[in-house]
Structure 1
Amino acid sequence: MRLVLLGLRMSVGSGRGGLLRAGLMSSGAALGVLLVLACLAAVSVTRAQDERARDRSPVYAADDSGYSTDTDGGSRYTDRPVTAGATRLIEIDDAIGHLPLRRIAIGGATPATELPPGLARFPAPGEIVVSPALAELIRTDARARERFPQPIVGTIGRAGLIAPNELRAYVGVAADNPGLDEQRALEGFGGALRYGRGDEMTDPDVFTPGRYAAGAFTLFVLVPFGVFLATCARLSATTRDRRIASLRLLGVSTRQAAVVNVVETGVVAGAGALLGAVLFSVLAPLSTGWPIGRLQWFASDASVAPGGMALVVGVTVAFAVAVGVLAGRSARLDPLGVRRGAPASRPSPWRLLPLVGGLAGATAAGRGGALPTDARGWLMLGSVLVTGLGLALALPVLSYAVAGLVQRLPVTPVWLGLAAARVRHSPGVAPRLVASLTVAIYVAGLGSLGIALVASDQDLLGRAEQTSDVLLQVPNPTPTLMADLRATPGTTIVALPPVPLTVGGAEANGVLGDCAELLAMYRLAAGQSCVDGQVYWMEFSYGPGGREPDRAGDLRLADGTLLPTPAATLTATPRFNVGISAPVFVTRQVPAVAGFEPETLSFDVVAADRAAVERAARVVSARAPATYLGGDLGGYRGVDTNFMVLFLVCGLIVTFVLGVGSFAAAAVDRTIERRRDNATLIVVGTRPAVVAAGEAGSGALPLALGLVTASAATLVIAFGFAALLKVDAGFVVDRVAPVLWLAGAALLTGLVLTTVPAYVTQRVTAESLRRP
């Protein structure tokens, strides 16, 4: 018990310096615990969202084959037939700007129809029930108001929503609405997650990306938090080691000294960890509607079980104690060396191997053309990770070597020589100060490159610039809807149905359409043009879809009708990622095809820009709410490019904040701890300005070295990526260039955090000279 009380005394009763150290360490533990609990809460949020999404997902009756869908996504056989006139619904995805919107058209509902969670009743034809966020948007935004001209007769409750900002609407339509023809009867809710076009099992509609966010944020948070906490656990390391050494020289055993060290570190870290848990408990219930990009959640979903919170607090304290005890081992085993202030041993050159190996691996992955592509990719990934580890390991060696070069300069200022001497005396102290910031810069550089890759950067991926037009699809539209879309500014309606024909007696396929429709979907070769009323041979730049027929002989329709001889050959390049490979194009104005009706109709809408896409979406939603408009409507949904960019940016911000926080805590503590040594130099006649400059230089030297090394490593990795992706290295450098500016800003911040405290703490007092 006396040892425990002694540890408590050492943790809170060591004067202002001890209290400052305790405050810094507690703050670090509190911040880390808060972030870790927030990551764990993300798991809770996604689990709750997943459950609500499953509860509202429709279950359909058996189709004509007798199969229906289980709630787990499997199939089972049933002899229940589909009842004519039964309740049917279709879920349709839309977007208002970049906000995803889901419209559920339902027809044939009766009082006996099971209701989804959050609904008091289904809307009748011509009515809608909407989420609160959509109701507000309809009130304030003309784009939403024009999509839903129907009266709002209800609001979806929280049980039927994933998040408070979700845009969702149930739209009542007639039971015989053509848009519901292919839908099977509705049995109830609680089925597998899906997009609701029949039983097509595609992407889930729940925000499952949160699962990926939870795991990935853990990487961004736990690694820098580990560095941060380890830094805080070793604050005032020299002073604490001297105290432990003093206890050993007074007769305290190694085990007893370890107990004192455990108590001293554990009390401070435990107080901070508990503070972080309290902060989370206070902030989490207030978080409804807090946005992280497009993401929001209900506060009650963001919860962590008491057992989980206790585990986080316990692991945090245990980690801090382990770092403190292991780092103080030398003081317990060799107390005399610590009391004498013996210089640390020279860092081993072997510490450079991970850094050198990582950079060599990245270069080999970029230049190693003989290796398979998959092997080069895995080699690059491994090199990136090893290089990040190697930066922290190599800093003591590099700092020791550079400080030695500085000492060998023919004319070295006193303050610079003092800084170099301090670096070589304790080569691991200053690099430990800047390691977290150095690694944060490296992670930020690779993160910016990753953002460019995930965002499908056209220059970086070497892709040709795509057209600004957007291709949309409308399945089986009514003539009225087609007329409305044709009248919509900026849209071109395209229908290119296949035409069975023969070429010299051999069966082939043709395409029927107008020249304007062909030009909306394809680009013709230079000098070529299309004239309505003609027939053309077709060649496609992406290659034929099968054996080309012999272009000799008559062209005839399947009923034997003779077609005109093709006027020319058109070479077509698709404007979109779809295409046909028919060898013949027949314009509708050819008299021989007058009155021809294709067996299947396929309609596309080519929108000139995003504004035209928005106008087309409004027309379809308002005129035919049970008809979906397929294609890229501009909404951000699921694990898409914008989510990944958002995730990477947030992760990098957290990493950088923890890195700067770690550096700031260590810099302030280091200045306080150095006051005694600086006071000794001032007493013997050294000018305070020289002492302050030496103090600042001993921190600035490894900081500059670390940031330069991190920037250089980032560039080497970037050049490796450029060679691996086979793109111009200039594009890659442009993507990581902002990080070089960030490194410069970090250097200036570090200089301020080391220089200012060094200059303002030069007043010599008796306490400054007192040995602990």
Structure 2
Amino acid sequence: MRLILLGLRMSIGSGRGGMLRTALMSSGAALGVLIVLAALASGAVAKAQDERARGRSPVYATEGDYSSDTDGGSRYTDRPVVAGATRLIEIDDAIGHTPLRRIAIGGATADTEVPPGLARLPAPGEIVVSPALAELIRTDARARERFPQRIIGTIGRKGLIAPNELRAYVGVAVDDPGLDEQRALAGFGGPLRFGRGDEMSDPDVFSPARYAAIAFALFVLVPFGVFLATCARLSATTRDRRIAGLRLLGVSARQAAVVNAAETGVVAGGGAVLGAVLYGVLAPLSTGWPVGRLQWYASDVSVGVGWLIVVVAGTVAFAIAVGVLAGRPARLDPLGVRRGAPAARPTPWRLVPLVLGLAAAAVAGLYERIPVDQRALWLLGAVLFTGLGMSIALPVFSYAAAGLVRRLPAAPVWLELAAARVRHSPGVAPRLVASLTVAIYVAGLGSLSIALVATDRDLVREATPSSATLLQISSPPPGLAADLRATPGLTVAALPPVPVTIGGVEKNALMGDCAEVVAMYRLGAGQSCVDGQVYWLDVTVYGPGAPEKPSFSGEIKLTDGTVVPTPTVTLTASPRFNVAQTAPVLITRQAPVLAGFEPEWKSFDLVAADARAVERAARVVSATAPATYLQGDLGGYRGIDSNLLVLILVCGLTVTFVLGVGSFAAAAIDRTMERRRDNATLIVVGTRPALVAAGEAGSGALPLALGLVTASAATMVIAASLAGILNVRIGFVFDRLAPVLWLAGAALLTGLVLIAVPAYVTQRITAESLRRP
């Protein structure tokens, strides 16, 4: 206990410098624990949202049992099937980029099971909406025009994933055509299902939280480890001198280690507990806090007591381990530490991890005989070894660079002083900049990933997509096509096949207006379509499944024997979208031979001129036919799309950069306070304070610049390797690395300010500065 009290006394009872170090280390541990607990809580959020999403997922009945086309359907066979013809369909929509799920339900009775969060199901002309959607209907015309029905209630939190979710249950007639394909509703609580309509990559909007949890763990744990290690070694020289002094007074090495562990553990433990308390205070207030489009309920943000103990104890144990291991030279050679002897020259073996990482990157990028998946593994190993090797190799680079500076024939005095300090303690300054160097390396790789994901989904094919958007509508109710035709920017492309015979051979002809044909196909140069005419149609479809060219010959007849005029003009057409109907004949709807003929439309295509036209189409369909869905990309951000990946990477890089800058700032301030004794000695003998401050800033700026250059160069090597694996031009990938160079420059300026400013403002020398070790 006496040794533990002595360690505590050494931490907080050594003047302002000791109190500053205690505050920096405690705040670092608190910040790290707070961020780690938040990262762990994202997993709890994902689990809670998953459970609520499954609880409201519909289960459909078929022949007295539940559907067999879902995973895990047998788990629900012991539940009774609700009698009646209640049916529903889940339809995905979007307002702007915000996903919206519309659930049309018809035939609800008093015996129909109600989903979680609803008091009752809506009847035709009624809706039940989420609170966020209710607010949007009140303030946004896009939502108000989608739902002209009467709102009879709001969905409770048991039926919602997050506070910002847009969800609506819409009552429709039991014989609505949109429900024809749906089986009877048996209840709720089944496996998650895809909604109909908008293109999605995940069954529900909760799924991104899983990936956010993984990404935050990757981006948080490594920089937090560096941050905590830096904090654990604050005032390292002063503390080593004290440990050496205890050893010279007769304290054993084991007892000195206990004192060192107590000194570090008490401070780190206090900060870790403070971080846990801050998390406990902030978590209940977090309902509705946005991280991009992700939100949550405060009750979902929970970390078990076991995990809380693991994080706090792990933080303290890691800090103690770093402090005890780093203080080993002071315990084994106390006399050398007390005399301020120069440290040993860094061994070249420190370069091995960095060299191995860069070599692995070169092999992955250049050696094409290795399979692509193995090259990707080589690249992953290169990323890890390079990140580890940079901080280990920095003392070697700094020592060598300082030696070159000292050989300059006319180097300024302050630069020689900086180089001498680097060579005297080659491991001190790199320890100062290691966290910021690693942060820039991680940020560089993350920025590269952001650029590639956000702007280059297909790196090999650089195609420019058409501004027009193709949508499809199935089982449209009467009058919907007319409403859509009257909407600006929309072209209804109903091109139903018409059975014909050509020279006695059964074929299909396309029937439609010329405007519909031009919306779906590009005609050959100089060609045009005139309504009322009949044309041979030569549709060019590229790819391995392209049909053979049709032969145009023979008399054309409808199924009732009516002779179709033989076409005299051939239209050469290529599809505008990845959907194409091929037929040898086009009969325009106004052709006299089709007078009075109107085929049944089971579906039709809809071409929207731009994003605003897509939005108008969604409004018309939702308002006039709520059980009908638009199939296509309506612009909503959902699932693991590029926008979410950018969001996760940006958040992760922000956390990494904050921890890196925080670690650097703590170490820079602490190092300035620690150097006051040596600086005071120089000033007392007549050295100008400005010269001393410049030397102090230079001794930190030299390894900082080397670290940032190493990080930028390593990132470019990894990028070149990636270009080789993807088989794209190196310049194509390097163009996306410009932000890394700007970020490195900003980090260099930030580091110089954090080093130079404290060095200049702490030159007030007192007797205490000379007396205290």
TM bracket (short chain): over 0.9
Would you say the 8 A contact 2:538–2:549 is kept in 1? no
Would you say the 8 A contact 1:484–1:619 is kept in 2? yes
Once structures 1 and 2 are overlaid, which stretch shifts more, 648-657 or 522-531?
A: 522-531
Q: Match of 2:61?
A: 61
Q: Does 1:115 align with 2:150?
A: no
Paired with 2:242 and 2:85, the residues of 1 have a C-alpha distance of: 82
Once structures 1 and 2 are overlaid, which stretch shifts more, 636-645 or 567-576?
A: 567-576
Once structures 1 and 2 are overlaid, which stretch shifts more, 200-209 or 429-438?
A: 200-209
Q: Match of 1:132?
A: 131
Once structures 1 and 2 are overlaid, which stretch shifts more, 680-689 or 235-244?
A: 680-689
Q: Tell me by how many angstroms 1:648 deviates.
A: 0.7
Matching residue's letter, 2:709: V
Q: Match of 1:14?
A: 14
Q: Tell me by how many angstroms 1:756 deviates.
A: 1.1
Describe the SS at the equivalent of 2:67.
strand
Paired with 2:760 and 2:75, the residues of 1 have a C-alpha distance of: 78
> What's the TM-score, normalizing by structure 1?
0.94
Would you say the 8 A contact 1:548–1:583 is kept in 2? no
Once structures 1 and 2 are overlaid, which stretch shifts more, 681-690 or 320-329?
A: 681-690
Q: Tell me by how many angstroms 1:318 deviates.
A: 0.6
Q: Tell me by how many angstroms 1:535 deviates.
A: 2.1
The 1:765–1:542 alpha-carbon spacing in structure 2 relative to 1, beyond 3 Å, is same
The 1:481–1:22 alpha-carbon spacing in structure 2 relative to 1, beyond 3 Å, is same
The 1:713–1:78 alpha-carbon spacing in structure 2 relative to 1, beyond 3 Å, is closer
Describe the SS at the equivalent of 2:606.
strand
Would you say the 8 A contact 1:495–1:601 is kept in 2? no
Would you say the 8 A contact 1:496–1:602 is kept in 2? no
Q: Match of 1:766?
A: 767
Superposed, which structure 2 residues align to 1:6-85 within 5 Å? 6-62=6-62, 68-69=67-68, 73-74=72-73
Instruction: Tell me the matched-pair count.
Output: 770
Would you say the 8 A contact 1:535–1:564 is kept in 2? no
Q: Tell me by how many angstroms 1:32 deviates.
A: 0.3
Q: Tell me by how many angstroms 1:557 deviates.
A: 5.4
Describe the SS at the equivalent of 2:472.
strand
The 1:273–1:201 alpha-carbon spacing in structure 2 relative to 1, beyond 3 Å, is closer
Q: Match of 2:476?
A: 477
Paired with 1:33 and 1:454, the residues of 2 have a C-alpha distance of: 31
Q: Match of 2:442?
A: 443
Would you say the 8 A contact 1:554–1:563 is kept in 2? no
Would you say the 8 A contact 1:49–1:206 is kept in 2? no
Q: Does 1:626 align with 2:631?
A: no
Superposed, which structure 2 residues align to 1:541-552 within 5 Å? 541-543=541-543, 545=545, 548=548, 551=551
Q: What's the C-alpha RMSD, in Å, of the aligned pairs?
A: 2.7
Residue segments in structure 2 that go unaligned for 5+ positions in a row: none
Paired with 1:549 and 1:467, the residues of 2 have a C-alpha distance of: 26
Q: Tell me by how many angstroms 1:585 deviates.
A: 4.2
Residue segments in structure 1 that go unaligned for 5+ positions in a row: none
Would you say the 8 A contact 1:62–1:82 is kept in 2? no
Would you say the 8 A contact 1:498–1:512 is kept in 2? yes
The 1:582–1:717 alpha-carbon spacing in structure 2 relative to 1, beyond 3 Å, is farther
Paired with 1:755 and 1:701, the residues of 2 have a C-alpha distance of: 12
Paired with 2:662 and 2:265, the residues of 1 have a C-alpha distance of: 21
Would you say the 8 A contact 1:131–1:166 is kept in 2? yes
Paired with 1:387 and 1:440, the residues of 2 have a C-alpha distance of: 13
Matching residue's letter, 2:699: S
Would you say the 8 A contact 1:193–1:206 is kept in 2? no
Q: Tell me by how many angstroms 1:76 deviates.
A: 8.2
Superposed, which structure 2 residues align to 1:282-681 within 5 Å? 282-457=281-456, 462-500=461-499, 510-532=509-531, 533-543=533-543, 545=545, 548=548, 551=551, 553-554=553-554, 556=556, 559=559, 563-582=564-583, 584-592=585-593, 601-681=602-682
Q: Match of 1:145?
A: 144
Q: Match of 1:741?
A: 742
Q: Tell me by how many angstroms 1:79 deviates.
A: 13
Q: Tell me by how many angstroms 1:101 deviates.
A: 0.9
Matching residue's letter, 2:399: Y
Matching residue's letter, 2:106: G
Q: Tell me by how many angstroms 1:294 deviates.
A: 1.0
Would you say the 8 A contact 1:68–1:76 is kept in 2? no
Superposed, which structure 2 residues align to 1:107-256 within 5 Å? 107-196=106-195, 203-256=202-255
Matching residue's letter, 1:744: G
Paired with 2:213 and 2:167, the residues of 1 have a C-alpha distance of: 26
Matching residue's letter, 1:437: L
Matching residue's letter, 1:338: V
Q: Match of 1:101?
A: 100
Describe the SS at the equivalent of 1:468.
coil
Paired with 1:561 and 1:599, the residues of 2 have a C-alpha distance of: 20
Q: Tell me by how many angstroms 1:357 deviates.
A: 3.6
Would you say the 8 A contact 1:53–1:160 is kept in 2? yes
Paired with 2:667 and 2:737, the residues of 1 have a C-alpha distance of: 28
The 1:588–1:417 alpha-carbon spacing in structure 2 relative to 1, beyond 3 Å, is same
Would you say the 8 A contact 1:361–1:379 is kept in 2? yes
Would you say the 8 A contact 1:497–1:598 is kept in 2? yes
Paired with 1:255 and 1:265, the residues of 2 have a C-alpha distance of: 15
Matching residue's letter, 2:474: P
Q: Tell me by how many angstroms 1:119 deviates.
A: 0.7
Q: Tell me by how many angstroms 1:48 deviates.
A: 1.1
Describe the SS at the equivalent of 1:111.
coil
Q: Match of 2:4?
A: 4
The 1:605–1:309 alpha-carbon spacing in structure 2 relative to 1, beyond 3 Å, is same
Q: Tell me by how many angstroms 1:3 deviates.
A: 1.0
Q: Tell me by how many angstroms 1:597 deviates.
A: 6.2
Q: Tell me by how many angstroms 1:463 deviates.
A: 1.7
> What's the TM-score, normalizing by structure 2?
0.94
- State the identity as a percent: 76
Q: Tell me by how many angstroms 1:372 deviates.
A: 3.3
